[in-house]
Structure 1
Amino acid sequence: MELRHLRYFVTIAEEQNFRRAATMLHVSQSPLSRQMKDLEEEMGVALFAPEGRGIKLTAAGKAFAERARSILASVDTAVDEAKGIAEGRLGTVVIGFETGTTFMGAFLSLVAAFRRRTPRVGLQLVPMSSLEQWTALRQGTITFGYGAYAPSDDALGHLEMSHDRLGLLLSLEHRLARPKKIRLRDIESERVLLQPRQLYPRLHADIITAARTQGVTLHVTAEVLDLEALLALVVIGDAITFLTEKYWEPASQASLLWRPVEDLHIHLSEFVTWRAEDADAPVVRALIESAREVSPILQGAADRTRSSKAAQRKRRSTR
């Protein structure tokens, strides 16, 4: 018994007429009748009984028709799901992201843009460091990564999403909230909290090196994994921390103040990462296109290009 036999049988059952069913199926009536006879012989039951110029289903035929419809619907669903996954319309995408990026930068915009493109694809967001993301990408356990570092591995593609200045985050009541300018030497006596070194190794090194260059030794009292816990300690004035300028608005809503440090010249970027060999896969391509759509850097470049072209047209029109 083949699937086409089920499809033929269901069509005949619905039409209750071999001639009309043959027309709908685009087959000859004689071979269709012969295949239904073969089906009945294979099953050992009569599925049809003559009725006037047509046929009707026997009790066995009615029961079989119900089951056949269910089987065909399941097969059609399975085929649609397989095609949807192959085309990037269905399935589940696992995105690794660094903690602290979910409510800053372009991460949420990226997820929202991807959701608009692929509304039926499931999303699973897994917190992990950039190093962990790269390993997971190579192993195929995640589809996409979002973090603070760009991979140097040619097997991984990446796109820079943001580039922001690092500054000081402190309580509105902190003594350093009042001076017009802050330098690294002003921070030397302060309790400094940072996120774990294993998550942001280059950031730790850059901050410590920048301070030492100015003859300053920072008093890093703790490394706090949970960003909310870190911010809570800063809010109550127990310590200060370093974050990028883009944190200004959400921080100000949480009784925090972002201030630039005059002699701290560190910028942080955020990157999306994927396995290079998967770049043409529909779901990965949708993620990359979503990233390009929301990247502040690429948007800024596009705005500058449009402005330049507009200026060129204006100059030509005034000649």
Structure 2
Amino acid sequence: MQMTVVAIVNPIAGAGTNRQLLNRMLQLARLAGIEIDYRVTRRPGSARRMAAELSAGPKEAGSVRAVMAVGGDGTVREVADGLAGGPLSLMVWPTGTENLFAKSFRFQARPESAIDCLLRGQTRLIDLGQANGRSFLIVAGTGFDAEVVHRLVGMRTGHITHLTYSAPLWRTFWEHRFPRFRVYDQQTLLWNGQGLVFVGNLPRYSLGLRVIRDAICDDGLLDLCILPCRGRLRLIQHCVRTLLRTHVEHGGVLYRRLRSIRIESDDSVPVELDGEAAGRLPLEVSVRPGALRVLVPPGVTKL
């Protein structure tokens, strides 16, 4: 049976700049006897719907080696959401700005690497986070970082670059009011105060920061990190400590591994999932252990 790969492509997330590389991959795939079924997303939610339809189709599922998400972390999250709990494996061709998930598993936008992954890669099961019914692979954040993301949504006109973040980041730095949060593990109150709240499944975060430093994506748990913060000076201090990866040891920081978390606030506080705007608090977060199959490149043994 010929190997088939379905590529779900986000044309906005930099895919155009990778057109020559993608064409080269298609050529190598034909030489290797691999059929690439190329599908383009049209609107938010398209990638999830396409992936879910593939996962639910028993005839197609039998011949599909993997579903390749071609895009940034938002596209990858949508495809993963559609594949969750199903028989098909996720693969990534990174074309976004941060590509945090791809970096975590050493996926590269190189034709030879992609074909090698298809021919020699191994399937691994990883956990998925659930936040108010929506999946996330990397992190759920609320407060400062989510406000930056929500501001960006109103300004986005095309492919996002690191420079695109500068204006919303600068405005948020000066205007953010650091709301109070209540964070629960089931009925137990863990936190009641101002701070930066992150729930993560993987340690990588924007700009090389590893806020959820010790997260492991196949341990059946989510990592909660709360950095106490009431102003800009403390925010800068947290950024420096996070760059040095010493923030967890700093006094006052709460770091736990949990299966479920509830986050509340009396204020209207934005939420982001894997760098995408995702509504506002309250937030119910839980883990789906081993819910996603990932076709990882050869040599990737530690998740």
TM > 0.5: no
Larger radius of gyration: 1
Higher strand share: 2
Higher helix share: 1
